[in-house]
Amino acid sequence: MMRLLGRQEIIVYLLGLLCACVYGMKIDFSRLRQIRRPYIEKRNNQCSGNPCEEDKPFLCRSSPTCIALEQVCDSIPQCPDGFDESPALCNAKKRPSIGDLEDFLIKNEHWIIPALFNGASPELVAHSLVVSSDLEEVKLMVGMDPQSEENLHEAFMAVLTGDERPLLKMGMPQEEWFDVQFMLNRLIEGGLQV
């Protein structure tokens, strides 16, 4: 009985496909292939569209003014709109790159994302950790529930005190302690208020 039902379903699908093709309809199978995410693909080393010279590569957002990287986040606005001193930009300058953070989060995704970030995507979490000034901003950007917020705060406190036990209770594998400690310390040293 089960084999007959399966065969009937296949026949119905094939008839539907045949009818669609006979009446001039087209089935697009190209969307079934896996699409690579653009940020994973190899990037070239050339910047395109940046008119700035090598010694002043930072382009202000609202004007064609170019400034040296040393002048970005130096507490003196050189860009007419003050973009070179924006808090999000200055936070990102001092912290690990989004790519490094995303790689770290993906490596530890099985425990760190559900325990600390309420199941949010590693991309979103990495971005929020780079640009936020404190854990409250991270919570708002990621959309964390109160338990995840408490776990995140507890994780940072564990790193500050050098005590891995709270993180082990959250599911962190013992061998990941040094990587977790290193990355969370880099965020704290980069100015993330905990």
Kindly give the confidence (pLDDT) of every residue in the chain, 194 residues in length, as a single tens digit, with 9 standing for 90 and above.
555 556 666 666 666 655 555 555 555 444 444 444 444 444 445 545 678 898 999 999 888 899 998 999 899 999 999 999 988 788 778 888 899 999 999 999 999 999 999 999 999 999 999 888 899 999 999 999 999 999 999 999 999 999 999 999 999 999 999 999 999 999 998 889 98
Which residue matches tokens 């208020």?
193
Verify that 102 and 172 share a domain, yes or no. yes
The reply to whether 181 falls in a domain is yes
C-beta neighbour count of 28 within 10 angstroms: 6
Structural domain harbouring 134? 94-189
DSSP 39: T
DSSP helix/strand/coil, 9: helix
Verify that 147 and 166 share a domain, yes or no. yes
Verify that 80 and 103 share a domain, yes or no. no
Verify that 116 and 168 share a domain, yes or no. yes
Verify that 63 and 107 share a domain, yes or no. no
The reply to whether 178 falls in a domain is yes
Has this prediction a pTM greater than 0.85? no
The reply to whether 2 falls in a domain is no
What sections of the chain are H helices per DSSP?
A: 2-22, 87-94, 98-107, 109-117, 122-131, 135-142, 146-161, 165-169, 177-189
The reply to whether 33 falls in a domain is no
Predicted pLDDT at 32: 42
- Number of structural domains found in the chain: 2
Q: 61 near 79, Cβ under 8 Å?
A: yes
